């Protein structure tokens, strides 16, 4: 099943759901007047909240957040929003990586946005704010903005320098036999296949045109490479949960692991020194976005949505994400804000965050990078071959 056929099937399923919504008075023209317009039912992962509770966001935005925890499973999002009643459950929700805004807009599950209603929109850098920017496609559908980016990064590899005795700068070390059984990768075809494809392409080991949107033949080659290494015992495991991945580092079950950057921060807080590397071949680059559901607009939640998103775009929020979880953003001026608020960021923290941003800049600038895409053209090939990797 190619992307066109996949689109057609989910579109037909989604339209049946929209028709049901109309009968229940949940589409524009049938707004439920009793809805609390200063409350937002938000479906997003815990990483969107760099505090223990949503209270700081609620104070900053003036909006009550009714939060539902969302997993990192892209298939769950598709199922919930396309056929699982997500429109009734959530006013706004985040994606699971590049391409989800296209799938959601194409099926009528999200609405176009009015960026003028978010004063902090101008803080976004040209790469995403301008229609011809390198990241413009990550928030647009057919050239129209449908999403707000709130965190971003270039995923790399965490490692234990004291155990290794050196600082790895290549994905090749993950596949080096001398580290057999002491490395791990993420149990997700998006980042794992993309980063492996970047390595194989840049190392000249496999011909790959676009690591983020591979052909079936290219997918097969990448997965067979992983299967061969898995059967040889190269990987300690393929991690799925955030807590499990942190434990792998803290308990020193692995010395290297492909992962997100927050694992490094949490592991350090638990007493283990971990670093986050810059791989010379390149990285999967991504940003997570917030979208307004069709049901949310119908319930009159636009003002609440724009208020919350304006805070997501603020330097106050992006600096908190950087300091507490290590995530970057696509906004300019974050470091100037940090330096200008010594009551929050002391000198040592400023020095640390400058180094973190410098490392991010190096990762972002790598010409071998590829943007995350969980909705590739040949999605079925990805799913089929990833199942083989998991079963190997």
CA distance 126 to 202: 27
pLDDT computed for residue 29 by the predictor: 41
101-130 mean pLDDT: 96
Asked if 186 and 67 sit in the same domain, the reply is no
My answer on whether 190 and 112 are in the same domain is: no
Tell me the range of 186-190, 242-246, 303-307 where mean pLDDT is highest: 303-307
Query: Does 353 fall in a domain?
Result: no
CB 98 within 8 A of CB 138: yes
Indicate whether 95 and 206 sit together in one domain: no
The 10 Å CB-count burial string (b at 16+, else e) for 292-325 is: bbbbbbbbbbbebbbbbbbbbbbbebbbbbbbeb
Question: Mean of the pLDDT values across residues 261-279?
Answer: 95
In tens, the pLDDT along 146-163 reads 999 999 999 999 999 999
Residues 215, 115: one domain?
A: no
Domain for residue 360, yes or no? Answer: no
Structure tokens at 299: 């319930």
Per-residue pLDDT, averaged over 170-192, amounts to: 96
Give Rg (Cα) of the chain.
21
Q: Are residues 252 and 380 in the same domain?
A: yes
pLDDT in tens, 300-330: 999 999 999 999 999 999 999 999 999 999 9
Residue 356 lies in a domain: no
Residue among 265, 221, 223, 220 nearest 242 (CA): 265
Do 45 and 69 belong together in one domain? Answer: yes
Burial of 86 (0-12, 13-18, 19+ CB in 10 A): buried
3-state class of 92 per DSSP?
A: strand
Are 194 and 305 within one domain?
Answer: no
Domain at 213, CATH number: 3.40.190.10
CA dist 224 to 171, 206, 231, 326, 379, Å? 17, 11, 10, 33, 17
Residues 265 and 181 in one domain: yes
**What is the rounded end-to-end Cα distance, in angstroms, of the chain?**
24
Q: Are residues 208 and 255 in the same domain?
A: yes
| H or E segment to which residue 156 belongs | strand 148-159
| 234 is a domain residue | yes
Quick check: helix, strand or coil at residue 42? strand
Domain final residue, candidates 273, 294, 313: 313
Whether residue 60 is found in the same domain as residue 97: yes
- Of the residues 313, 328, 360, which one is the last residue of a structural domain? 313
Residue 342 lies in a domain: no
How far are the Cα atoms of 17, 92, 116 from residue 28, in angstroms, in the given order?
15, 16, 21
Instruction: Give me the domain span that covers residue 302.
Output: 3-146+285-313
Residue 15 CA to residue 116 CA, distance in Å, equals 30
In a domain, 330, yes or no: no
Q: What is the pLDDT of residues 58-92, one digit of tens each?
A: 999 999 999 999 987 787 888 899 888 899 999 99
136/168 same-domain check: no
Which distant-in-sequence residues (6+ apart) come within 8 Å of 223 by Cβ? 193, 385, 386, 388, 389
Highest mean pLDDT among 6-15, 27-36, 236-245: 236-245
Write down the pLDDT at residue 36: 65
Of 275, 249, 262, 274, the residue nearest 184 (C-alpha):
249
SS3 helix, strand, coil % of the chain, rounded to 5? 50, 15, 35
Residue 96: which pLDDT band, with cuts at 50, 70 and 90?
confident
CB 191 within 8 A of CB 258: yes
Torsion of Cα atoms, 272 then 317 then 239 then 43, to 10°: 150
The answer to whether residues 172 and 46 belong to one domain is no
Let me know: does 127 contact 135? Beta carbons within 8 Å: yes
Q: How many domains does the chain have?
A: 2
């Amino acid at each position: 099943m190619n992307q066109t056929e996949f689109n057609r099937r989910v579109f037909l399923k989604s339209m049946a759901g929209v028709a049901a919504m109309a009968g229940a008075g949940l589409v524009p023209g049938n707004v439920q007047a009793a809805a609390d317009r200063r409350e937002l039912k938000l479906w997003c992962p815990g990483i969107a909240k760099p505090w223990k509770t949503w209270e700081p966001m609620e104070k900053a935005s003036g909006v009550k957040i009714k939060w539902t925890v969302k997993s990192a499973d892209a298939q769950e999002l598709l199922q919930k929003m396309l056929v699982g009643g997500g429109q009734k459950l959530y006013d706004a929700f985040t994606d699971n990586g590049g391409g989800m805004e296209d799938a959601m807009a194409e099926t009528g599950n999200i609405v176009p946005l009015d960026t003028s209603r978010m004063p902090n929109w101008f803080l976004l850098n040209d790469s995403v704010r301008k229609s011809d920017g390198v990241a413009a496609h990550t928030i647009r559908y057919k050239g129209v903005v449908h999403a707000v980016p709130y965190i971003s990064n270039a995923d790399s590899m965490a490692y234990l320098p004291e155990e290794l005795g050196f600082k790895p700068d290549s994905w090749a070390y993950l596949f080096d036999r001398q580290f057999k059984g002491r490395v791990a990768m993420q149990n997700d075809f998006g980042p794992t296949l993309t980063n492996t494809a970047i390595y194989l392409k840049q190392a000249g080991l496999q011909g790959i045109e676009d690591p983020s949107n591979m052909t079936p033949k290219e997918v097969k080659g990448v997965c067979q490479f992983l299967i061969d290494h898995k059967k040889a015992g190269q990987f300690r495991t393929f991690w799925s949960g955030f807590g499990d991945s942190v434990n792998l580092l803290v308990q020193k079950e692995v010395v290297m692991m492909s992962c997100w950057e927050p694992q490094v921060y949490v592991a350090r807080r638990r007493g283990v020194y971990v670093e986050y590397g810059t791989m010379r071949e390149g990285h999967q680059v991504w940003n997570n976005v917030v979208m307004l559901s069709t049901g949310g607009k119908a319930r009159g939640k636009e003002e609440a949505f724009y208020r919350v998103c304006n805070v997501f775009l603020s330097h106050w929020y992006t600096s908190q994400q950087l300091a507490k979880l290590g995530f970057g953003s696509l906004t300019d001026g974050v470091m100037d804000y940090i330096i200008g608020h010594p009551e929050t960021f002391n000198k040592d923290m400023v020095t640390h965050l400058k180094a973190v941003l410098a490392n991010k800049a190096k990762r972002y600038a790598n010409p071998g990078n590829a943007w995350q895409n969980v909705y590739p053209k040949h999605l079925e090939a990805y799913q089929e071959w990833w199942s083989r990797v998991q079963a190997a």
